[in-house]
Amino acid sequence: MQDREASEPRKGSAKRVLFLTNCLLLCLGTSGGPLISRLYFLHGGKRVWLSSWLETGGFPVCLLPLFISFIRSRLSRQAKPFVFIDARLFLSAFVIGVLTGLDDYLYAYGLARLPVSTSALIIATQLAFTAAFAFLLVRQKFTPFSINAVVLLTTGAGVLALHSSGDRPRGESTKQYVLGFVLTLTAAALYGFLLPLIELMYGKSKRRVTYVLVIQIQLVMSFGATLFCTVGMIVNNDFKVMGREAREFGLGETKYYVVLACSAIMWQCFFLGAIGVIFCASSLFSGIIIAVMLPVTEVLAVIFYRENFTAEKGVSLGLSIWGFVSYFYGEYKQIQKKKQNNPTPDTDLPPTLPNP
């Protein structure tokens, strides 16, 4: 009995560490991914399919934590299988992965045509799509605080849109700019649908959803998305021209491959963090983190790419911080209410944690 009571705080601490780790991965990928992808286009890169391929092409990185988990189970003499995912879950993850590949292409095309700041403000609208689809697919419960957060973060994107017309790159036609704008908005809507769909997949799984299984799901999803983009690269002859593009790259041939590798790693942090946060909390919370990090991406774009920091961007940043604080204050109130109703020690994550 004492051993069980002693293990509960350790389990709660491990869950919080896992939760915070995935939040950090998502924050890193949300800002780092777009910035490095834009760096590729700014210095002469022109292959949209290659850029979209890089968003999930780093999926072999997921094999490392799986291998570590397998070795730990062997050392502790626990006969756990290396593969947890079943055929039904594999198929579901693969289909979502193909849709993710399509989303990658839409986003990469927009990023090729739009400044990071404009692209970020459009992607911020995905929170509204996430909230709507989360309500329809997983019956997400909303509180006044979470509703306020969604409204503030979405309004922040709308404020930025007031100045978007002044960000069109030199030499780009109105048609290209508008097409990039529309495809980026479509990417935001599609990813807003995919986040709750992943949460729904967790809920419908007949197996107990563990973090190891979540990583395997991410592996399959990324494989499906990468396969989709690989077909696009073959059709578009991207593999044949990569060598020439590397030699003509503005930062040099070596840095060309460094940029590609860093892009793949950053985007893998994004996707692994996103599905990890969905596992630990909810698709809505994952969308909240993505939305609140987009103004941070704006600030970084101003610093590194000398993009203009307008008053609209400052207002958007303030609204995003306000929305983020509102959401967490609501979660704090929920936890306090739960503790009053249940005086036993609370070792779980916030009440948005799903119960597979």
**Per-residue pLDDT for the chain (356 aa), expressed as one digit of tens each?**
444 444 455 566 778 888 899 999 999 999 999 899 989 998 989 899 999 999 999 988 888 888 877 777 777 766 566 667 888 899 999 999 999 999 999 999 988 888 776 777 777 777 778 888 888 887 777 778 778 877 876 777 667 666 555 566 666 667 777 888 889 889 988 988 998 999 899 888 877 888 888 888 989 999 999 999 999 999 999 999 999 999 999 999 999 999 999 999 999 999 989 888 988 888 878 888 887 787 788 778 878 877 666 677 677 777 777 877 777 777 667 767 776 776 544 444 444 444 33
Whether 312 is covered by a domain: the verdict is yes
What's the pTM? Answer: 0.79
Give every CB contact of residue 267 below 8 A, 6+ residues apart in sequence. 29, 33, 37, 54, 55, 56, 58
pLDDT of residue 286: 85
In angstroms, the CA 76 to CA 53 distance is: 38
pLDDT of residue 1: 47
Whether 121 is covered by a domain: the verdict is yes
pLDDT of residue 353: 40
Give every CB contact of residue 231 below 8 A, 6+ residues apart in sequence. none
Whether 241 is covered by a domain: the verdict is yes
Whether 52 is covered by a domain: the verdict is yes
Range of 321's domain? 24-341
pLDDT of residue 103: 95
How many folded domains does the chain comprise? 1
pLDDT of residue 5: 47
pLDDT of residue 162: 64
Evaluate whether 300 touches 31 at the Cβ level (below 8 Å).
yes
Torsion sign across C-alpha atoms 92, 98, 104, 106 = negative
Whether 8 is covered by a domain: the verdict is no
Evaluate whether 65 touches 268 at the Cβ level (below 8 Å).
no
Evaluate whether 26 touches 296 at the Cβ level (below 8 Å).
no
Whether 30 is covered by a domain: the verdict is yes
Whether 12 is covered by a domain: the verdict is no
Whether 280 is covered by a domain: the verdict is yes
